[in-house]
Amino acid sequence: MNGDWLIRGRDGRLGVYHPTEDGVLSRAEHRPGGGWTAPRRVGGEQELRPGLGVGQGADGYAHLVSWRPAAKGEAVLTHSTHYRPDLAALDWAPVGHPNRKGPRTSEPAVAVDAQGRAHVFVVNGGQGLSMVAQREKGGWDPWRDLQGSRVQDGIAALTGESGLVEVYAAVPGGILHWAQEKPGEPPVMTESLEARVRPGTLAALATSAHSTTVFYTDPEGLLCAWRPGSAPVALLYAAGPGPVSATRCLLDGHDCTVLAQRAANGRVVIAAYPTQAESAGAWWAESGPELPEDARVFLAGDPHSGRLAAAALSPSTGRLVLTRRKDEPGLALEPWREI
């Protein structure tokens, strides 16, 4: 899974996406804080291959991208739009392949710009980074090769507060960064970081009006934060092997970055610190029940309020557990409940 599969609609309802072996299921709250719908298959009965990317725009619409099988062992990327978590998503529509045709290359990553256009990123057959973007008046632009070499799976794409799209990718010995200079233009490579990065651990977050932050884990297990234009900072030791989920919310009136991860012991751990003030330090606090090994944890926050929700989903079992922040000072959470 790539991107924020836990989303909050414009009306405050939470929704989740559950990838299965051959498709994607969605569930949503009937009303904010209320009961949940039964699982619904996204985009009809079309068969999909594993690998889901999700991006959400400022309009609240979710854009989902996955691979569908094609002839002779090949695959094609396919896209669906979900306008509201409690409604049915649009049918899957093909958007092509970065090499015109071929097998599945990597998990897709999706970012949605300020105009509501989805930008889809994927590793191409030459191990560079390729992108395809929606046109403002419908349809898709041609595929573009953004260059790069030996790009690894686990791309992190996002939209900054400026409304411009950015993307991070790990390569042997470092991280590459691309960013749009103007709306509608393809991102260009701006900077690279020399660092040892554990594959599959990138997560990115918009952290100010002019900057984004990427989180990664090094081979020794240190969770680090990097903003292009500055040096990386070691935050704390990662609690588990996978990527963290990152969001922002107001805690006691302060803009804070909140991180969550499934720990090696199976429980969820959560940490928070003042946004872009990594020197203040962060500490994990355990929460929730023990989760299956394949469970992923995601956060849904709001940088303008204290609203925060955390959910964990096991793709193999379909088990979904959820909690929210209590309406009190600090980062106290309600008891986790199974949905």
Helix (H) or strand (E) holding 319: none
Average pLDDT over residues 8-33: 91
pLDDT at 259 over 70: yes
pTM, 2 dp: 0.95
pLDDT at 234 over 50: yes
b/e burial code for range 115-151 (CB count within 10 A of at least 16 → b)? eebbbbbbbbebebbbbbbbeeeeebeebeebebeeb
Residues contacting residue 220 through CB under 8 Å, at least 6 positions apart: none
Q: Which residue from 258, 255, 251 is spatially nearest to 306, judged by alpha carbons?
A: 251
**What pLDDT score was predicted for residue 252?**
92
pLDDT digits (tens, 9 = 90+) for 172-216: 999 999 999 999 899 999 999 999 999 999 999 999 999 999 999
Average pLDDT over residues 16-32: 92
**Predicted confidence band at 2 (pLDDT cuts at 50, 70, 90)?**
low
**What pLDDT score was predicted for residue 3?**
65
**Predicted confidence band at 256 (pLDDT cuts at 50, 70, 90)?**
very high
Pair of tokens at residue 57: 């725009």
Measure the CA–CA gap between 182 and 170, rounded to whole angstroms. 24
**Predicted confidence band at 1 (pLDDT cuts at 50, 70, 90)?**
very low
Residues contacting residue 137 through CB under 8 Å, at least 6 positions apart: none
3-class secondary structure, 101: coil
Measure the CA–CA gap between 75 and 11, rounded to whole angstroms. 36
pLDDT digits (tens, 9 = 90+) for 70-123: 999 999 999 999 998 888 999 999 999 999 999 999 999 999 999 999 999 999
**Predicted confidence band at 332 (pLDDT cuts at 50, 70, 90)?**
very high
The DSSP line for 260-311 is EEE-TTSSEEEEEEETT-GGG----EEES----TT-EEEEEEBTTSS-EEEE
Measure the CA–CA gap between 207 and 221, rounded to whole angstroms. 23
State the sign of the Cα–Cα–Cα–Cα dihedral 135, 138, 144, 149.
positive
Measure the CA–CA gap between 89 and 9, rounded to whole angstroms. 13
Percent of the chain, pLDDT > 90?
84
**What pLDDT score was predicted for residue 52?**
93
> Where do the structural domains in the chain lie, given as residue ranges?
239-339
Q: Classify burial at 229, counting beta carbons within 10 Å of its beta carbon; exposed 0-12, middle 13-18, buried 19 or more.
A: exposed
The whole-chain average pLDDT of the chain stands at 94
Average pLDDT over residues 7-19: 91
